[in-house]
Amino acid sequence: MIQIGTTLNVIDNCGAKKAYCIRVVDKSSAFIGDLVLVVIKTLRKKRKIYSKVKKGELYFALIVRTKLKKFHSFSDSFYFLENSIVLLNKQHKVLSTRIFGCLPKSFRYTKYMKVLAISTGLIS
């Protein structure tokens, strides 16, 4: 569950490392697949010079991993060790060209199919 004030890891190659949630779009708390408005807090050291993003800028983000367990109807559950996001631009398009790590298979049924295409793998 992501709320206002949550620190999030950025798992794509746009150049950001940590982001801070300042607003959840259309809800009070967000889960996997929801949109949040974030501000960039830190950048990756190797990408600081030619980064696509700058420290202190506002971006939309798609939540792809949460620490809270996700339960399915067939009594199976999974969770991640970190809260992670993928950065989006103002038109809700993905900023990066790669996503590090695997993502839940539930993104297959959303409008963010591009996120699955550039990720490493899937988790059911």
pTM of the model as a whole: 0.90
- In the prediction, which pLDDT does 79 show? 82
If the chain, 124 residues long, is cut into consecutive pieces of 10 residues, what is the mean pLDDT of each piece?
94 94 92 94 83 92 89 71 95 93 85 89 80
Distances (CA, A) of 81 to 4, 14, 64: 19, 22, 12
- In the prediction, which pLDDT does 110 show? 86
Distance of alpha carbon 62 from its chain centroid, rounded? 4
Query: What structural domains and CATH numbers belong to the chain?
Result: 7-97 (2.40.150.20)
For residue 78, how many other CB atoms are within 10 A of its CB? 12
* Angstrom distance (rounded) from CA 120 to CA 123: 10
Q: Quick check: helix, strand or coil at residue 71?
A: strand
